[in-house]
Amino acid sequence: MKGLDYTPVRMDPEPARTKTKQVSSSLLEMTGAGVKGKVTEPGPSVTRCREYGDDLFSMSHPWSVYEISDEQVDAGLTNLRKALNGNGWKITKDGKANSQAQDPEIYAENDAEQFALHVTGNKKSATGNAVILFKVVSKCFKAESAKSLDGEY
CA-to-CA separations, 53 to 32, 41, 70, in angstroms, rounded: 39, 30, 44
- Chain segment 17-44, per-residue pLDDT in tens: 999 999 999 999 999 877 888 999 888 9
Check residue 70 and give its pLDDT. Answer: 92
Q: What is the rounded distance in angstroms from the CA atom of residue 139 to the CA atom of residue 59?
A: 8
- pLDDT tens readout for residues 70-99: 999 999 999 999 999 899 999 999 999 887
DSSP 82: H
Amino acid present at 10: R
Closest residue by Cα to residue 62 from 20, 122, 107, 11: 20
**What value, to the nearest 5°, has the Cα angle with vertex 22 and ends 20 and 28?**
105
| pTM listed for this prediction | 0.90
Tally helices (H) and strands (E) across the chain: 2, 9
Which pLDDT value is given to residue 126? Answer: 65
